[in-house]
Structure 1
């Protein structure tokens, strides 16, 4: 999550050493206006630009509270002058009435627009229909108040720790007793999706900020939901955010903190020099409007949070949630609600949701492994053994019911945990290890190490790491493709301490994207100028590699590919142990990579350039056909096979996977960070928090789209040149019966 400061107002200057504190603020329902209680003034701001539209001087003393009506056309204010004023949206006064004590809180009923005004000794209810104010005595002082979503209950928080729930007419229904003042409380928004019995939060949930430094939750019948959450500071303000999935908390720690709806701390939105007395999230309904406004400006709008503090400063920040995801073949995992991991089997749409109850920072998928990085540890999940990969064969692929039944989606968590407190740029999971990447360092940790400091191996790079991916291999001997800022691509085997240079990008520009073919005979890179270059790593005769090893041996062994070894027969009739096969395959991959690097920079080397294209953003090889790839370019997908010209496939987004006849594309908005101005200070992030979403990074609203690719064009090109083997490989990806018949007769008539 990355907070972006939209605008900042340092507030009114001190007067006689007294600071003009911001005690309350509220958004209009359309999100266009922000009203602020500051000193003895009511300030109205334009939410988007930060312009001060009005300074209302109707109060004679400090203003403590402000609140908008449900339609945003009126708002109320109250303060130490014992007066409640109702204003129009443009700042024109409409009505004024008084109490016998200072006004602590005002709140409009979301259904009837009845105004509740609370003081130290009583609270009043006013509505347009009755004109008069009905007052009810209370003991002791009311510090906070909030109406329920249906307007049937008014919750009052008292100085002695009592929470009083009253009906719409003011009669008390029940009370809840705590042991410290109730400084803030708020009802959770109604759930967007009804609960399906999975233990989710109830619909009528009251969040309570108590000055025993806890955050607690209660249902409307007084039943406590979850245990008290220790905050370690005094909460002064609460606001639900993003359909009730998150809570923003401001308090004595001088921060605005983002928590989950279960009060699990996620990160710091901003830090201030004084207590944060008021926080308010933009209403949920404004997000659609904000996106429309952002689309007109060429950028997507993000939901905002307003923060006011004791020093009088006002800040409005946009919260940008980054996309955390991982794709391996036909399984896709992504982070949901900051604490959950959703894994989808794309061909069958089977889904499993893993709840972690903590901030998910990184996700990695590889074969039957799933790694999840939390703030202080890494958890590894694995699929339960099914004994077969039946869903991958062609017969199961043609039968969706059989395929769905054969897919295993039962992940179980391994007993081992890797404790890791530092931030990392990237995380990968292998069959037996977790790989942690920092700027110029790669660490290899076994599942059983217990602590990342007890790493099994470490590689120190002489240039900054820009991208990394797993390139398959046997368990314990996997290869990693590493792109560096100086334009080099390295191959690292996890059982070898020495990296091998594979290729070097033209102009030595930083590598932004890297991909390898399913048999590892081709390598594609995209540099910082968005130039795609595809290399062939198979020219064994130019590198002088021995017959039994090198790139050709790698290609033949590599047909076992990223899915592991298939078949156990030996051509000489002698059985080889699994350990010998692993050593042979690892040696072949190392020799091929070494041969590729030996002459990669020269014109006659074995890393031969196949083709190059400008303006590419992402590239992915087909995981079944070695010489087929897809790359994103200028808003379209370009599919290239063999030496034939590429053809376009209409699709949005950026390709991240190419499985059989399906493209996996990410469609969403990217973060655009505005250039900081001289008079607008940057928000201070939490140094120990999660890494910020990078400028240009995909936001969490990004969706994965599956695009079915017709292979008719590729099939036709092979048929035109009489390449029956190539036509057969393309047809196996999925074509119609008539298209199968087209190569059948010519192939049968062709000479052996």
Structure 2
């Protein structure tokens, strides 16, 4: 809200890029910054009231019109370039949206200025012109009159002046002839596939006309009404403008309100309530920011936020669109239906075939009447209506009831609006979900803020507690057969419990939502950090990237909500299918596959089932792909079993069909059928293998023979065959040498699978080969198999795989130094000194960590980065504090570093003020900060000249002349740089003409004795010696008085007594009353117990510093503390700082805007 001008705000106009706002007020044109509202310039060019302002479409010029009958064109640099006159006062101006044509309307005529024409031709208007607007393509413009008429004129005809007066325009006559003060063109409505094609609203450009007959009407570009029903108003409209692509209309008028409407005039609510008539309104381009001007000079800015209103049940998704419509989608059939409500949609709930829509004064209940069969359109029919206005945070619909949630209260109404029952739960309701049940007896899961999960039945007044967590509930779901319960708490931890015995099955961190599959009991998914995880039973989960969070899971589709869009994402179950097959659980694998897998997955399942002689499952799997060849093989195997053939013959047949001839031959040989193995090799022309079959000898002899053949193959320049033979014979050392020499990665992997885990030498050779090939995954598996953690750590450190190295260091603390010390040196090489310091500290190298931190501090000071210097000093002080618990000699160093942190952090403000042309800080804050620094001991590069110059300059501006004179006197004792000498001399002369006093409202007040102190005083009260407590945002005195606790009372005991409730009926106890000035306030146990916890601030400093206690003498002022650095702020200042900076402005620790350290919550 800007200050009042005490004159009417006649017109407003934003620059097309939104960087500047023009305000027509009095005889001036005020130009404000479009971002922060700073007044940039005040233009004076008119001799009378300025009635209208407008920007060109490219932002290169703007125009103003006045009651002095003149129109002035200004450049983008705010310089007047051209002026022309009408015979009467100017009423309205507007630039064409595509060209440099300017339409200017006086009382009885209008003209169009063009950059290519020197003169402006005027034409008469049949009436008194009041408003004007261009169409979106600039092909025509509209002029409204006081007599209730609107003239639509084609631009080409007016400029050429070749047609008759009758052909130049279309006249719209409003019944009643009431004045029209506002008209606006809406851009054409975009038609997409999300449901807008069902809309009966006009999609072309329309003209909105508001008149003082208190009505809204709409016309097309031919002057025809586009909606026979006019919107009645309860006030006289004075301004109107479309925004957000023509989706919304904002109107102001005599009811002192700014109201929001849809494109076709449906009232959506009040944006703001002003004290007087709203005369002008405008919208910042490409945003939802609305600026309104009133007749009393008030100028206000509002930012509109449009929330998502939606509901999901199984595969049906309903959401609000255009604020007054509801679109229902069937996500799997890709059908949708639009329901037009002609009122603001506040809540939407869907359950099976029922849909509930809460409007401003009623709740409509719809039922799906078609869309369950393929090819049918999705249609809903209104079946019930509850004519009541409800206030609730959540809306749930069941087959015969609706449930309204408000805080702890859950109310149940039937579809006629009769209240059936009510549940009062133990805490605020965070999540509610209908999980099914018979009509009228549905089961509902409710998650509470205290971590409790309840189960409710619609027909039962007693809730059933299922379990209770330690954190608030964020999301709940239950499995298909209600055997498992999934919960995500406020900490982002997803947990799955056994619904019967409440045992925790598993948990996963960093999750935001979770959902069970609606078609399969043991399948669920959860999302978080842009990752979707699928999990089947107790098997490890599979992940894939997905933006948004999961809200439903049906079949092989995951329903994901990202921003405002719902999408159905198909997921793959291949990993889980493979896991079940590895466990030989083919029945479960087949059930999972029926949810939707690829042809390759079915083929793999069929082959594995066939190999395990699960013939019925193999046949069903091959049937999914219609693989006649494999089905024929299954039929052949079944026939063999019926004939009584042995399992050996069946398995040999299967191996041969799979191309596993060696395994087939080995099966024959192991069972004494060497002749058949020989026949197999002969048929396949594998003569060398056939020769081996013929050699009837012992195993060792066979190996020796194979090694000799391998040597022969190597000498014959067939190294690969030789390597394979070495592997087969168990001579891995020679095989590894050949693999390293010829870089055979596949053979190396084969050796890894075959070699014994106890053969450490060969395993290390293989690991070295894989590390050289950057295949760290295989090398890691080798080291894991050997349990050689030291080599694994060395590999990750050498490869700079820090994440893996950190995980090992966390698991095996003895390797912390081997990991974090190289990591710290790596960070230092990358100029990431702050992180390097933390790594040195983690590695236990505290001396090197302190050295890095001290170097960072000195670098920041030398480079004039005083804010960073303050931050590093604070970190250094806390490092000293941590070590001071065991070495008290470091405590003075810690206190000195913390004091330096305050000085450098505050001096950043003064340095910025003195060296930069602009600053965002208020002058009061800068003056208080400079006063604070003036009372601190000198520090390196902290300029005392800047400090006292700031005090002198700002003190003179604010009326603190005594303080300014004192600062100038101090400057005479300092060595002043040349660029400040003249400034100081001039200021010294000027201040001597001012009284030797300070303004009373600037004098700091002592909240212990209630007396004011001079601005030149120190950090203690001059009357009672009480130490002032400053706000770290403004350095204003906070209403806090420090007190101490009696000896013998521990910190925990004192905190417990302060947090206890005071005696009932006793007046609030103020320990400050009755104490002597200059004496410390020391409270005993009885006095601590009488304190109201809302009046006490406890500063629990880091050990070995003692806790400090403060009494808030003005409890109406809430005090906030940073939980990291214990700096104090007013609550509003703290929230603003957290929103702007993302955390504490001093220690930079990330915090939520909602402060958990307000004194009211202690």
| TM-score category (smaller protein) | 0.7 to 0.9
Q: Deviations over 1:229-261 (max 9, x none)?
A: 111011111111111111111112222111011
* Runs of 4 or more consecutive aligned structure 1 residues displaced over 6 Å after TM superposition: 194-197
Q: Which residue of 1 aligns with 2:316?
A: 331
SS in 1 for 2:581: helix
Q: Which residue of 2 aligns with 1:512?
A: 474
Matches within 5 A, 1:55-134: 55-134=42-121
1:230 is aligned, of 225, 229, 232, to: 232
For structure 1, which segment, 737-746 or 72-81, has the greater mean C-alpha deviation from structure 2 after superposition? 737-746
Q: Deviations over 1:286-316 (max 9, x none)?
A: 3xxxxxxxxxxxxxxx532222222323333
Q: Which residue of 2 aligns with 1:184?
A: 182
The 1-side partners of 2:507 and 2:567 are apart by 27
Q: Identify if the C-alpha distance between structure 1 residues 193 and 739 changes in structure 2 by more than 3 Å, giving closer, same or farther.
A: closer
1:716 is aligned, of 562, 567, 578, to: 578
CA contact (8 A) 1:383 1:408 kept: no
The answer to whether 1:734 aligns with 2:696 is: no
The 1-side partners of 2:51 and 2:435 are apart by 61
CA contact (8 A) 1:202 1:219 kept: no
Q: Deviations over 1:91-115 (max 9, x none)?
A: 1111111222221101112243221
1:436 is aligned, of 364, 388, 404, to: 404
- Residue 425 of structure 1, CA deviation: 0.8
- Residue 202 of structure 1, CA deviation: 5.3
Q: Identify if the C-alpha distance between structure 1 residues 31 and 193 changes in structure 2 by more than 3 Å, giving closer, same or farther.
A: farther
Q: Which residue of 2 aligns with 1:310?
A: 295
- Residue 744 of structure 1, CA deviation: 3.8
- Residue 162 of structure 1, CA deviation: 1.8
Q: Which residue of 1 aligns with 2:30?
A: 43
CA contact (8 A) 2:409 2:425 kept: yes
Q: Which residue of 1 aligns with 2:267?
A: 265
1:175 is aligned, of 171, 175, 181, to: 171
CA contact (8 A) 1:518 1:626 kept: yes
Q: Deviations over 1:414-457 (max 9, x none)?
A: 1x21122122111111111122221222122222x2x3xx2122
2:328 is aligned, of 343, 366, 369, to: 343
SS in 2 for 1:495: coil
Matches within 5 A, 1:366-515: 366-384=351-369, 404-405=374-375, 409-414=378-383, 416-447=384-415, 449=416, 451=417, 454-505=418-469, 507=470, 509-515=471-477
Matches within 5 A, 1:353-752: 353-384=338-369, 404-405=374-375, 409-414=378-383, 416-447=384-415, 449=416, 451=417, 454-505=418-469, 507=470, 509-538=471-500, 606-668=501-563, 702-744=564-606, 746-747=608-609, 749=612
Larger % of helix: which? Answer: 2
The 2-side partners of 1:77 and 1:97 are apart by 11
SS in 2 for 1:23: strand
1:248 is aligned, of 247, 250, 261, to: 250
- Residue 376 of structure 1, CA deviation: 1.1
The answer to whether 1:141 aligns with 2:128 is: yes
The 2-side partners of 1:191 and 1:95 are apart by 37
What is the aligned residue count? 599
Q: Deviations over 1:263-294 (max 9, x none)?
A: 110122222222221111233xx3xxxxxxxx
The answer to whether 1:24 aligns with 2:11 is: yes
CA contact (8 A) 1:384 1:408 kept: no
Q: Deviations over 1:158-182 (max 9, x none)?
A: 1121222233254552322222100
The 2-side partners of 1:190 and 1:30 are apart by 21
The 1-side partners of 2:198 and 2:463 are apart by 51
Q: Which residue of 1 aligns with 2:831?
A: none
- Residue 408 of structure 1, CA deviation: 5.5
TM-score, structure 2 normalization: 0.50
Q: Deviations over 1:362-388 (max 9, x none)?
A: 1111111111111111112212268xx
Q: Deviations over 1:667-721 (max 9, x none)?
A: 12xxxxxxxxxxxxxxxxxxxxxxxxxxxxxxxxx11222211100111111122
The 1-side partners of 2:432 and 2:139 are apart by 55
SS in 1 for 2:7: coil
Q: Identify which of structures 1 and 2 has the higher relative contact order when contacts are C-alpha pairs closer than 8 Å and 6+ apart.
A: 1
TM-score, structure 1 normalization: 0.76
Q: Deviations over 1:149-198 (max 9, x none)?
A: 23232211111212222332545523222221001111111233399695
Q: Which residue of 1 aligns with 2:282?
A: 280
* Structure (1 or 2) with the larger CA radius of gyration: 2
Q: Which residue of 2 aligns with 1:677?
A: none
- Residue 462 of structure 1, CA deviation: 3.1
Gap runs ≥5 in structure 1 = 1-7, 13-18, 287-301, 392-403, 539-605, 669-701
